């Protein structure tokens, strides 16, 4: 049976509890032996079949008791209530890894290592990002708050810029690395003051990252 053709493009904000750089990006084990992370996106252009996804905002909180590949993870998704019912179902389908070639996107891969999927919520998402300046803010009032700033030299305080290119990445192909602070009080709790963050322009589809 043919897959539904979908594609979504737009800026992404992501942060995790690992040290700057995130060992997962280099096939290494997590800094603290377990993984907790958030990610958010504002879709600027996109479709799921005949459903226009432009303007949809979503974010997620994730946790694994050990390295991601060992499984046992949990996930919680929030979609901005401005999204229509058709858009909500399309985003949930994409984030679940469905209608995607096996292993083609981060959502499809992570679906195999998430055991608990908490019911989604539909709450206002304040999403702002400046990828070149390495700054961002994702706020879901009372649920999640992530703030991103440039990595700074611990002695001088000067900004330190790091850009990573992953030619075969299943999330992004190029990202600016930064420092993130996150608090989440929802079904998946998150709490760190200076963890890894990356900002990227996603271009994902049924067939993978472009």
pLDDT of 85 over the 90 cut: yes
Locate the domains of the chain by residue range.
Answer: 6-209
pLDDT for 20-30, tens place per residue? Answer: 999 999 999 99
Find out whether 14 and 38 touch, Cβ atoms under 8 Å: yes
Q: How many helices (H) and strands (E) does the chain have?
A: 2, 17
**Residue 141: count of CB within 10 angstroms of its CB:** 10
Biggest CA–CA distance in the chain, Å, is 58
What is the pLDDT at residue 1? Answer: 74
**CB within 8 A of 117, min separation 6: which ones?**
74, 75, 96
What is the domain class of 6-209 according to CATH?
mainly beta
pLDDT for 40-80, tens place per residue? Answer: 999 999 999 999 999 999 999 999 999 999 999 999 999 99
- Residue 135 to residues 12, 19, 67, 151, 205: CA-CA distances in angstroms? 12, 18, 28, 10, 26
């Amino acid at each position: 049976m043919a897959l539904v053709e979908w594609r979504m493009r737009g800026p992404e904000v992501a942060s995790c509890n690992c040290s700057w750089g995130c060992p997962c990006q280099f096939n290494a084990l997590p800094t603290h032996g377990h993984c907790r992370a958030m990610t958010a996106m504002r879709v600027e252009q996109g479709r799921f079949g005949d459903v226009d996804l432009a303007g949809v905002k979503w974010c997620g909180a994730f946790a694994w008791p050990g390295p991601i590949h060992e499984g046992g993870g949990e996930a919680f998704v929030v979609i901005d209530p401005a999204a229509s019912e058709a858009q909500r179902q399309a985003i949930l389908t994409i984030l679940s890894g469905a209608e995607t070639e096996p292993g083609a996107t981060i959502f499809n891969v992570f679906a195999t290592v998430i055991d608990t999927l908490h019911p989604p919520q539909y709450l206002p998402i304040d999403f702002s990002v400046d990828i070149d300046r390495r700054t961002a803010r994702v706020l879901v009032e009372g649920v999640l708050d992530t703030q991103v700033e440039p990595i700074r030299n611990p002695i001088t305080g000067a900004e330190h810029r790091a850009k990573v290119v992953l030619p075969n990445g299943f999330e992004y192909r190029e990202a600016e690395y930064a420092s993130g602070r996150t608090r989440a009080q929802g079904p998946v709790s998150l709490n760190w003051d200076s963890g890894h963050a990356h900002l990227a322009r996603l271009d994902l589809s049924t067939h993978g990252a472009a």
